Amino acid sequence: MPENPGLGIEQSLWLQGLKFVGGMDEAGRGAWAGPVMAALVVLPADPRIGLTLAGVRDSKCMTALQRARAALAIKSVALAWSVGEASAAEIDELGILPATRLAFSRAIQNASILPDYLLLDYIHWPGLQNPHRVMPKGESLSLSIAAASVLAKTTRDEAMKRLEGQYPGYGLARHKGYGTRIHAEALKRLGCSDIHRRSFSIPGKLA
């Protein structure tokens, strides 16, 4: 896989007359607490945007500072961007995969531009009506998907920092709800909060 994603896939779609190509990705799917968050990014149909967003790649391969700077750049140049989320309660009710699809759907609904075509990081989504392409490791292939991964991650991280004040003691601002030793130890002391996913296998959770 290329270290930095490009615009080759987007350019082929732009040449077909599909001006509004939206990249999508999610964050928080494997966490013990908090929402799953999805983001949509529609970049201008201009190959030069790749220079403007040089360094944007899979958010998991970037530092927090790199992601923060990239998020500002993405928002400044995108034709449209939006986020959607599904709560821990919805994850418990629906299951993580349907809840992730719900977050994706809400991101599409929240967008100021309806994309002509969607590029999705790999997610099993039967019945999706929008023209689309699903790509394993899409954030390594498509700059639009990589940009969405950055916005999903940074938006969710900020949400978890805010939740730290409402649910102190778990270290949410530090681990963002993921399974860490500190999180496990806090759960043994405090049990689950309202934002923990009780359907997940979580150490120390209350029945």
Q: What is the pLDDT of residue 204?
A: 62
Q: What is the pLDDT of residue 1?
A: 46
Instruction: Give the pairing type, strands 36-42 and 80-86.
Output: antiparallel
Instruction: Give the pairing type, strands 117-121 and 132-135.
Output: parallel
Our CA dihedral for 162, 168, 174, 175, rounded to 10 degrees, sits at -100
Q: What is the pLDDT of residue 44?
A: 97
Averaged pLDDT, 139-154 = 96
Instruction: Give the pairing type, strands 21-27 and 117-121.
Output: parallel
Averaged pLDDT, 127-156 = 94
How far apart, in Å, are the Cα atoms of 154 and each of 39, 88, 135? 10, 18, 22
Q: pLDDT by residue (tens digit) across 87-141?
A: 999 999 999 999 999 999 999 999 999 999 999 988 888 888 999 999 988 999 9
Mean pLDDT of the chain: 93
Res. 207 pLDDT band, cuts 50 70 90? very low
Q: What is the pLDDT of residue 121?
A: 87
* Residue 187 in this model has a pLDDT that exceeds 60: yes
- What's the residue count for the chain? 207
Q: What is the pLDDT of residue 4?
A: 84
27 DSSP 8-state letter: E
For the chain, the 3-state helix, strand and coil shares in percent, each to the nearest 5, are 45, 15, 40
Would you kindly state where each structural domain of the chain is located, as residue ranges? 8-156
The model carries a pTM of 0.94
Averaged pLDDT, 4-27 = 96
On the CB side of 93, how many CA atoms lie within 13 Å of its CA?
A: 9
Going by C-beta distance under 8 Å and a sequence separation of 6 or more, which residues neighbour residue 172? 33, 34, 160, 161, 163, 164
Q: What is the DSSP string of 45-78?
A: S-TTHHHHTTT---GGGS-HHHHHHHHHHHHHH-
Q: Which tokens go with 68? A: 């923060």
Is the CATH number 3.30.420.10 carried by domain 8-156? yes
> DSSP alpha helices (H): ranges in the chain?
8-15, 49-52, 64-77, 88-94, 96-110, 143-166, 172-175, 181-190
Distance separating alpha carbons of residues 81 and 23, to the nearest angstrom: 9
* Residue 76 in this model has a pLDDT that exceeds 80: yes
- Higher-pLDDT residue of 59, 4: 59
% of the chain surpassing 90 pLDDT: 86
Q: pLDDT by residue (tens digit) across 49-74?
A: 999 999 999 999 999 999 999 999 99
